[in-house]
Structure formats: C-alpha cells, structure tokens
C-alpha cells in the first residue's frame, strides 16, 4: 500500500503547529474548509487590491487606493471619542488629513509622532473637497515599507480569521513549499504557458498585477487544471480497474434483434443508431463495458438499451434493466413486452411487490435462465437475486450514483457489462466531471414529428382562468398533470398544500376526474392511481413531487406547474418532458407568484424559447454563475476549490484526455511524470485511487 510521501508531511500536519494559530482559530478556519496547512495554499484570493505608490496624492482621483510617504504635521483631537481625530500630514506636494473614529488619542499620537515620516496606504476620499484617508489600512515606518505590497491579495475570510493572519500564514507556507516534480505534460505546459506548481502558488498568492485573480491568469488556470487533472486521473484509474477485470466477448447473432427491428413502428434517429453501435461494440469486446447513455427526456433511450439487452441474450446470457421506481419498472415492462414477444425472448418483471410464491418462482426463472431479460427496481441487486448468467446490466438512473456505487453495481456478476442511462442533459465538460470514468454516448436529437410544446408563464393571480381553461380542455378529452410546489420549510405543510389544491380542483372539475398522488403513499396505492391515469379514467393528476410523474403517458398533454420560480430549470424541463409524447398539441403552464424578479423571469423565459435540454442546462449554469457551488448534492458533481464553472468549461476536456493519455503510457504511474502525478493525487486527497493502482 502506498504511503504519503514525506515531502508532503508538513502540508498535512496539525494547524496548531503553524505560528499564530491556536485552537480557537483552528475552529474558525473550519468555516473556510481549512483543516490542514495544505488547505491554506488552495484558499486563493478572490480579488487583488492595487495599492498605487505615489509621491503625492495630488491629481489622484477619489476612491483610489494609494501608498504614500508623509510627514506628520499636527493632531486635531476630537471633542468626544465619537467625533473624529484628525492627523494633518504632508506629502511631497500637498497636505491632507488622516481621519480616525473611536480611536484612543495616546495610541494615535504614538503611531504618528509629529515631525516624523511614515508610509501609509489607504483609500483616498474627499470631504468638502478636502482630501482625506479614513482609517488607513497600513501604517509603516520608513524602513518597514516592504511590508506594504503593491498588489495585495484579498482572501475569503470568516469571523476570527483576519486578512493579516491569512496573508502571514500563507506567506510562511510559500517559503517552505516542497519541490515536487512536474505532473503536467511538458508539451501542454509549454503550449499553455503555465508556470510550475510552486511558481503558480507563489504568483496566485503574491500577484504582480491587478488582474491576478482573474479567470485567465495563467497561475490560477494551472492550479485549476491540477484540480481537474487529479480528479480525472482518479476517475480514469477506477475505469482502468474495471476494464482490467476480465470481461467477456458477447458474440451476438442478430436473429432476435432483426425480429425486433422488423416490428418497430418507427425508424431510429442517427444518434440512436450511433449509441446502439457503441453498445454492441462494447459487448463484443473482451473488456468490460462501463458506459453512460445520456439523452434528454423522450429521446428514446429505452429502445436503445433494449437492443443491447437482446444482444446479450443472443450471446447466450441474460440482461437486466433497473428502474428507479416500481411504476417505471412496470412501464418499461409493458412497453417492451410486445417487442420481446415478437422476438421470442422472455421478459420478467421483479419488484418489491413480488412476495411469497410469485417471488420464489420468478427467482427460480432468473436463476435457471428461463427469464432472458429481467426488469426491476433496485430489488434486482439484492443478495437473493441470483442470475444464471448476467451479461449486461442497464441502470435507468434517477437517483445519481457516485463513482464508488458504480463500482459496487458492477460486482453483481464478475463479468457484467454496465450501461447507465441519464436524462440529465448536462454539457460535456460537466458530464466528464461526473462520469469521467465512463465512456459516453449521447442522444441529442429527438425522434422526428414531435410537436412543439406551448409553454406559457402565467401569474398565479390568474389561477381561476387557468382552471376554467383546464376544465374546457378536459371536457374535450385532454389529460393533465398539476404539480404542486415543494414547501421546503415543512413536509406537513407541503402535503396539506397539495391536498388543499387537490380538493379545490376536485370541487371545480368534478368527482372522479381528479386524483392526488404523493410520495407518502404506499407503492400499491400509487400504482393504482397511476393505472387509472394511464388508462384515461382519471383526467387530472395532482402530484407533489417529480418522481411520481416520471412516467410515459402519451395521452397527457397539459402540464401545470405551480410556483415554477421555485424549481430549477432542469427540473422544469424534465417535468415538461412528461407531455408532448403523443400526437396531440401539448401545453405547459408555468404559474409564478408575483412579484417575479428580473432574473427569475429571464430564467423561466428560456423554457419558452427552447426545448433543447442541453441548451437549457447550459444557460441555467451561466445564469447561476460561477459563484454558485456546482458541487451541490443536486447536481451530483464533485466540489472543486479553485476551478469554477468557466474554468471547468475551458479545461475539463483537456484534463480528461491528459489523464487517459498518461495512464495509457504509464498505467502504474512509475515514470517521472507518473510519480509526480502520485504526489498530485496525495495533495488532492485522491489517494484512494493510488491504492487501486498499487493493489491492482
Ligand atoms: P427516454 O429517453 O426519455 O427514456 P423513451 O425511451 O421513453 O425516452 O422514448 C420516448 C418515446 O419515444 C417512446 O414512446 C418510444 O417508443 C418513442 N421512440 C423512441 N425512439 C423513437 C424514434 N426513433 N422515432 C419515434 N419514436 C421513438
Ligand atoms: Mg426513460
């Protein structure tokens, strides 16, 4: 097993050992996620102050920060402590005032002895046209002037942690940086014009220009790249581990596939064809498949996966598809059953609802190979589910899996090819951040002939009109979803609000036409309600959460979302994707609570402009901006300290390629660059992956 290299010890030592830091500060530093000396180094300044050195303030505009040498002329003491204490000073050309509030007279007289010279730095202001500096940031004696830097880094701070402490500690650490070899490819380094790791840290913390904290600063780009590179490196190591574990070449005959293809009521889109080819190629190879199929809602992922499942059966094994909920598992089963029958293969559905005899006999079918393709929920991965010969597992992803869980899933059979399907249309750079360990196939096009969904923003003050129109549409045969907002403050409020809305709608639209479905119901109840909606008995389905509506009901053509401004754009896009699946014109009504601020209106308007999920998520990310922590649980993305969204966009693809390239050349990280890369992994807490190599 690998051990942390000794050069890095002091960066991972106890914070208390650093001078000026005691137990109280250690606690405060936690707010900044600083727990080790290393973390100080990665706590980069968010801006840079330019302390312009001048010989005189004459001609300097207001609000400029200046550093100037002055002669102390006189003190004008305030009448009370609350009134200002003024120190009149003189530079090479003019005299002006330094102003202090609530300061002790003795202290100031000591700091500014009349007749002596000092260097001061602060923001120049004008009061009644008289220049003054209120509370200068720095006051130094002539021989101490070096302590005032021209370009001062401004750090993120927290209570009990001052700029001075941050600056001092970081400068101390910069003096003792370990000499580490270069882990970035020399060619790349040259092309990008990036400094070495040591120099990058020094220049990020001791900027030499006012734009030292910008996104285009080479030192920061290099440090961001380091972060992304180590992330991609550990994903690639995990990927290689899967690939190295023995796979099986699944040689399919095509006989069942042909029968399915001959009976398809439509033609595949080009993207579907390409994805199918990727999957069939992977199945053929003696390595294990570890692939992500990314495609917007309604892009037709299920049939693509099904072709792969059939291929696994043709090769003599079994296939399985895992859905996030029972309703969806059942829906997959029902849509695929006719195709499976035409092909002459057997399809089995296993969910938590199978108990007793039914479960026993299904388990036996699976174990003895009578079931060819098995559809189920996560129940499929329980210990007592034993496959005769599982070759290919598809996970229709709703809940997002992390890398480690993906590794777990692959263990269900030692030679299972794995395909994960996601409907989250994230840009490629973010897909790489999340799924860099996987090969990626993308379905961008929608099947032809889809009608555009009319999307409208409507103030909730007009809810009565909306309900009237809904009533008329339903009378003409429409079916609709009504999504109630999540009330985060209280789950009870959340359900009662939904119940109240349900009762109001039932009163207006009539008994038996409206039903309510929510997350607290048993799955049997939910299924029954869904069944009645699918069969068209229920016309309006009021729902509390997204999950319950994650189904395919082609006849449903109206989607109403209440308090749409509270949802994420991606979520609204997914919700809207529930309609527009049939031949009827569909409508999506986004109700909002007034007043709607400009940025919310802008956000929601995007949905009116496009149905392209990739575009929507890109705009969403841009609007949320780099400041937004993209590592939120919702997005399932890792947290980066230095790399912001723009940098991820610029650098992730390169980091991904470089990681794969390095591991292809040097799978055990033994060359000088490889050894340096190990240091990087240690530095970035990715040392778990080092163990994958060493054990490997
Ligand atoms: P998703 O990608 O959201 O899982 P589905 O697989 O549920 O999408 O497909 C949505 C609908 O589109 C299904 O009814 C499916 O039969 C249909 N479909 C899939 N591919 C095509 C195609 N190439 N042309 C027309 N309809 C298609
Ligand atoms: Mg689907």
Does residue 629 carry a pLDDT above 50?
no
275 in contact with ligand 1, CB cutoff 6 A? no
Name the residue of 265, 269, 300, 327 to mutate for ligand 1: max ligand atoms within 8 A of Cβ: 300
**How many alpha carbons lie under 13 Å from residue 594 in its C-beta half-sphere?**
7
302 in contact with ligand 1, CB cutoff 6 A? yes
CA of 323 to the centre of ligand 2 (A): 9
d(Cα 667, Cα 665) in Å, to the nearest integer? 6
422 in contact with ligand 1, CB cutoff 6 A? no
pLDDT of residue 636: 52
Kindly give, in sequence order, each residue whose CB lies less than 8 Å from that of residue 358, ignoring residues fewer than 6 positions away: none
Dump the DSSP string for 9-26: GGGGS-GGGSTT--HHHH
pLDDT of residue 29: 94
Q: What is the pLDDT of residues 257-294, one digit of tens each?
A: 898 888 898 999 999 999 999 999 999 998 888 899 99
Q: Tell me which H or E stretch contains 27.
A: helix 23-29
How crowded is residue 250: how many other Cβ atoms within 10 Å of its Cβ? 25
580 in contact with ligand 1, CB cutoff 6 A? no
Reported as a pLDDT band with limits 50, 70 and 90, residue 211 is: confident
> Sign of the C-alpha dihedral, residues 458, 462, 466, 469?
negative
Rounded alpha-carbon distances, angstroms, from residue 132 to 70, 111, 115, 129, 641: 13, 17, 19, 9, 39
* For range 398-404, the mean pLDDT: 57
Q: Which ligand is nearest to the CA of 442?
A: 1
231 in contact with ligand 1, CB cutoff 6 A? no
How crowded is residue 155: how many other Cβ atoms within 10 Å of its Cβ? 20
Q: Which residue's alpha carbon is at the smallest distance from atom 13 of ligand 1?
A: 300
Q: What are phi and psi of 578, to 5 degrees?
A: -75, -20
Specify the 3-state DSSP secondary structure of 481. strand
* For range 17-45, the mean pLDDT: 93
- How many Å separate Cα 511 from the centre of its chain? 43
Q: Which residue's alpha carbon is at the smallest distance from atom 19 of ligand 1?
A: 300
CA of 300 to the centre of ligand 2 (A): 7
Q: Which ligand is nearest to the CA of 339?
A: 1
CA proximity to 371, closest of 320, 414, 325: 320
Answer yes or no: are the C-beta atoms of 582 and 449 closer than 8 Å.
no
47-50 and 151-154 strand pairing:
antiparallel
Answer yes or no: are the C-beta atoms of 224 and 192 closer than 8 Å.
no
d(Cα 503, Cα 511) in Å, to the nearest integer? 10
CA of 578 to the centre of ligand 2 (A): 11
Q: What is the pLDDT of residues 94-135, one digit of tens each?
A: 999 999 998 888 999 999 999 999 999 999 999 888 999 999
d(Cα 283, Cα 687) in Å, to the nearest integer? 32
Name the residue of 298, 328, 397, 446 to mutate for ligand 1: max ligand atoms within 8 A of Cβ: 298
DSSP-derived letter for residue 578 is: T
Q: What's the per-residue H, E or C state across 46-68? A: CEEEECEEECCCCCCCCCCEEEE
Q: Which residue's alpha carbon is at the smallest distance from atom 10 of ligand 1?
A: 298
d(Cα 173, Cα 301) in Å, to the nearest integer? 52
CA proximity to 522, closest of 353, 636, 319: 353
586 in contact with ligand 1, CB cutoff 6 A? no
Q: Which residue's alpha carbon is at the smallest distance from atom 16 of ligand 1?
A: 300
Q: What is the CA radius of gyration of the chain?
A: 32
Specify the 3-state DSSP secondary structure of 469. helix
pLDDT of residue 630: 38
Query: In sequence order, what are the beta bridge partners of 67?
Result: 53, 121
Report the range of poorest mean pLDDT among 156-160, 176-180, 400-404, 477-481: 400-404
pLDDT of residue 546: 53
User: Given its phi and psi angles, is residue 552 left (phi above 0), alpha (psi -120 to 50 degrees) or beta?
Assistant: beta
89 in contact with ligand 1, CB cutoff 6 A? no
Range ranked top by mean pLDDT from 2-6, 328-332, 505-509: 505-509
Kindly give, in sequence order, each residue whose CB lies less than 8 Å from that of residue 382, ignoring residues fewer than 6 positions away: none
Q: Which residue's alpha carbon is at the smallest distance from atom 5 of ligand 1?
A: 300
Q: Which two tokens stand for residue 536?
A: 């068209």
How crowded is residue 525: how many other Cβ atoms within 10 Å of its Cβ? 12
Q: What share of the chain is helix, strand, coil (3-state, %, to 5)?
A: 45, 20, 35
Q: What are phi and psi of 132, to 5 degrees?
A: -155, 160
Q: Which residue's alpha carbon is at the smallest distance from atom 18 of ligand 1?
A: 300
Reported as a pLDDT band with limits 50, 70 and 90, residue 646 is: confident
423 in contact with ligand 1, CB cutoff 6 A? yes
CA proximity to 220, closest of 244, 204, 237: 204
Comparing 49 with 431, the larger pLDDT belongs to: 49
Does residue 305 carry a pLDDT above 90?
yes
Closest-lying ligand 1 atom to the alpha carbon of residue 302: 6
Q: Tell me which H or E stretch contains 442.
A: strand 439-443
Closest-lying ligand 1 atom to the alpha carbon of residue 304: 6
Q: Which two tokens stand for residue 19?
A: 């001078």
301 in contact with ligand 1, CB cutoff 6 A? yes
Closest-lying ligand 1 atom to the alpha carbon of residue 295: 2
- Across 51-150, the runs of DSSP E, i.e. the strands, are 52-54, 65-76, 85-90, 95-100, 117-127, 130-134, 138-140
Tell me the average pLDDT of the chain: 87
Question: Furthest-apart CA pair in the chain: how many Å?
Answer: 102
Rounded alpha-carbon distances, angstroms, from residue 660 to 410, 417, 567, 654, 657: 21, 20, 37, 10, 5
Answer yes or no: are the C-beta atoms of 278 and 440 closer than 8 Å.
no
Specify the 3-state DSSP secondary structure of 90. strand
298 in contact with ligand 1, CB cutoff 6 A? yes
CA of 446 to the centre of ligand 1 (A): 8
> Sign of the C-alpha dihedral, residues 24, 29, 31, 34?
negative
CA of 531 to the centre of ligand 2 (A): 18
DSSP-derived letter for residue 639 is: P
- Across 504-663, the runs of DSSP E, i.e. the strands, are 514-517, 540-543, 556-561, 586-592
Q: Which ligand is nearest to the CA of 395?
A: 2
- Helices H, strands E: what count in the chain? 23, 22
Query: In sequence order, what are the beta bridge partners of 48?
Result: 153
Query: What's the N-to-C CA distance of the chain in angstroms?
Result: 11
Q: Which ligand is nearest to the CA of 553?
A: 1
Q: Which two tokens stand for residue 618?
A: 């890109």
Q: Which two tokens stand for residue 665?
A: 């050349």
272 in contact with ligand 1, CB cutoff 6 A? yes
Reported as a pLDDT band with limits 50, 70 and 90, residue 521 is: confident
At which residue do the structure tokens 């006719």 appear?
338
Q: What is the pLDDT of residues 440-465, one digit of tens each?
A: 999 988 888 778 899 999 999 999 99
Q: Which residue's alpha carbon is at the smallest distance from atom 22 of ligand 1?
A: 447
Q: Which ligand is nearest to the CA of 577?
A: 1
Answer yes or no: are the C-beta atoms of 221 and 229 closer than 8 Å.
no
269 in contact with ligand 1, CB cutoff 6 A? yes
Q: Which ligand is nearest to the CA of 578?
A: 1
Q: What are phi and psi of 517, to 5 degrees?
A: -130, 135
307 in contact with ligand 1, CB cutoff 6 A? no
95-100 and 85-90 strand pairing:
antiparallel
Name the residue of 275, 447, 550, 613 to mutate for ligand 1: max ligand atoms within 8 A of Cβ: 447
pLDDT of residue 220: 95
Does residue 683 carry a pLDDT above 70?
yes
CA of 300 to the centre of ligand 1 (A): 3
d(Cα 457, Cα 475) in Å, to the nearest integer? 23
297 in contact with ligand 1, CB cutoff 6 A? yes
Q: What are phi and psi of 70, to 5 degrees?
A: -135, 160
> Sign of the C-alpha dihedral, residues 580, 582, 583, 586?
negative
485 in contact with ligand 1, CB cutoff 6 A? no
Q: Which ligand is nearest to the CA of 301?
A: 1
Reported as a pLDDT band with limits 50, 70 and 90, residue 617 is: confident
Does residue 548 carry a pLDDT above 60?
no
Our CA angle for 595, 601, 607, nearest 5°, is 140
Reported as a pLDDT band with limits 50, 70 and 90, residue 80 is: confident
Closest-lying ligand 1 atom to the alpha carbon of residue 577: 3
- How many Å separate Cα 623 from the centre of its chain? 14
Answer yes or no: are the C-beta atoms of 169 and 34 closer than 8 Å.
no
Alpha helices in 369-456 (DSSP H): 403-409, 428-435
CA of 302 to the centre of ligand 2 (A): 6
d(Cα 346, Cα 124) in Å, to the nearest integer? 81
User: Given its phi and psi angles, is residue 666 left (phi above 0), alpha (psi -120 to 50 degrees) or beta?
Assistant: beta
65-76 and 117-127 strand pairing:
antiparallel
pLDDT of residue 632: 41
Q: Which ligand is nearest to the CA of 297?
A: 1
pLDDT of residue 486: 67
Name the residue of 264, 272, 292, 302 to mutate for ligand 1: max ligand atoms within 8 A of Cβ: 302
Q: What are phi and psi of 516, to 5 degrees?
A: -115, 135
336 in contact with ligand 1, CB cutoff 6 A? no
């Amino acid at each position: 097993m690998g051990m942390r290299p000794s050069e890095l010890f002091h960066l991972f030592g106890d914070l208390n050992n650093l001078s000026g830091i005691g137990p109280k500060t250690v606690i405060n530093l936690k707010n900044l996620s600083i727990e080790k000396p290393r973390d100080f180094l990665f706590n980069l300044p968010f801006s840079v102050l330019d302390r312009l050195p001048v010989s005189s303030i004459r001609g300097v505009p207001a609000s400029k920060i200046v550093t100037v040498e002055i002669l102390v002329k006189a003190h004008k003491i305030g009448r009370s402590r609350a009134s200002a204490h003024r120190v009149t000073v003189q530079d090479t050309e003019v005299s002006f005032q330094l102003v202090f509030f609530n300061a002790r007279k003795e202290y100031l007289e000591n700091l500014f002895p009349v007749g002596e010279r000092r260097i001061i730095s602060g923001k120049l202001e004008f009061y009644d046209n008289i220049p003054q500096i209120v509370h200068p940031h720095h006051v130094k004696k002539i021989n101490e002037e070096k302590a005032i830097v021209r370009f001062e880094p401004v750090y993120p701070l927290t209570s009990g942690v001052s700029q001075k402490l941050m600056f001092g500690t970081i400068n101390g650490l910069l003096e003792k940086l370990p000499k580490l070899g270069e882990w970035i490819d020399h060619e790349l380094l040259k092309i990008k014009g990036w400094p070495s790791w040591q120099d990058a840290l020094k220049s990020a913390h001791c900027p030499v220009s006012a734009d030292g904290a910008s996104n285009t600063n080479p030192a920061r780009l290099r440090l961001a790249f380091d972060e992304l590179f180590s992330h991609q490196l550990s994903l690639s190591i995990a990927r290689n581990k899967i690939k190295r574990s023995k796979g099986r070449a699944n040689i399919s005959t095509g006989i069942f596939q042909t029968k399915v293809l001959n009976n398809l009521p439509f033609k595949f889109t080009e993207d579907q064809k390409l994805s199918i080819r990727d999957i069939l190629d992977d199945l053929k190879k003696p390595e294990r498949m570890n692939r992500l199929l990314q495609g917007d809602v309604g892009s037709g992922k299920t049939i693509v996966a099904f072709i792969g499942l059939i291929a696994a059966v043709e090769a003599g094994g079994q296939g399985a598809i895992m859905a996030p909920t029972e309703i969806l598992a059942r829906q997959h089963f029902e849509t695929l059953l006719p195709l499976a029958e035409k092909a002459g293969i057997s399809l089995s559905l296993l969910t938590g609802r199978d108990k007793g005899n039914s479960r026993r006999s299904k388990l036996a079918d699976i174990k003895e190979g009578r079931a060819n393709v098995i559809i189920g929920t996560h129940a499929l991965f329980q210990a007592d589910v034993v496959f005769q010969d599982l070759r290919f597992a598809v996970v229709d992803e709703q809940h997002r899996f992390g890398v480690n869980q993906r590794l777990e899933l692959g263990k269900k059979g030692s030679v299972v090819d794995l395909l994960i399907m996601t409907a989250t249309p994230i840009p490629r750079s973010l897909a790489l951040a999340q799924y860099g360990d996987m090969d990626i196939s993308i379905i961008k096009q929608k099947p032809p002939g889809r009608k555009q969904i009319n999307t409208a923003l409507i103030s909730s003050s007009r809810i009565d009109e909306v309900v009237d129109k809904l009533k008329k549409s339903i009378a003409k045969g429409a079916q609709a979803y009504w999504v109630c907002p999540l009330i985060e403050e209280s789950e009870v409020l959340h359900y009662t609000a939904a119940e109240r809305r349900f009762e109001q709608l039932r009163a207006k639209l009539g008994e038996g036409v409206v039903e309510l479905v929510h997350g607290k119901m048993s799955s049997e109840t939910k299924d029954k309600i869904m069944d009645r909606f699918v069969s068209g008995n229920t016309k309006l389905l009021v729902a509390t959460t997204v999950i319950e509506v994650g189904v395919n009901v082609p006849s449903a053509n109206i989607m109403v979302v209440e308090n749409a401004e509270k949802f994420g754009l991606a979520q609204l896009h997914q919700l809207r994707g529930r309609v527009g699946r049939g031949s009827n014109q569909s409508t999506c009504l986004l109700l909002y609570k007034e007043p709607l601020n400009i940025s919310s209106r802008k956000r929601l308007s995007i949905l009116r402009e496009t149905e392209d999920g990739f575009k929507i998520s890109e705009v969403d990310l841009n609007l949320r901006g780099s400041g937004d922590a993209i590592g939120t649980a919702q997005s399932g993305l890792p947290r980066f300290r230095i790399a912001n969204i723009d940098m991820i966009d610029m650098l992730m693809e390169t980091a991904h390629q470089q990681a794969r390239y390095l591991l292809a050349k040097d799978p055990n990280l033994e060359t000088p660059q490889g050894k340096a890369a190990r240091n990087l992994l240690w530095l970035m807490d990715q040392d778990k992956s080092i163990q994958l190599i060493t054990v490997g």
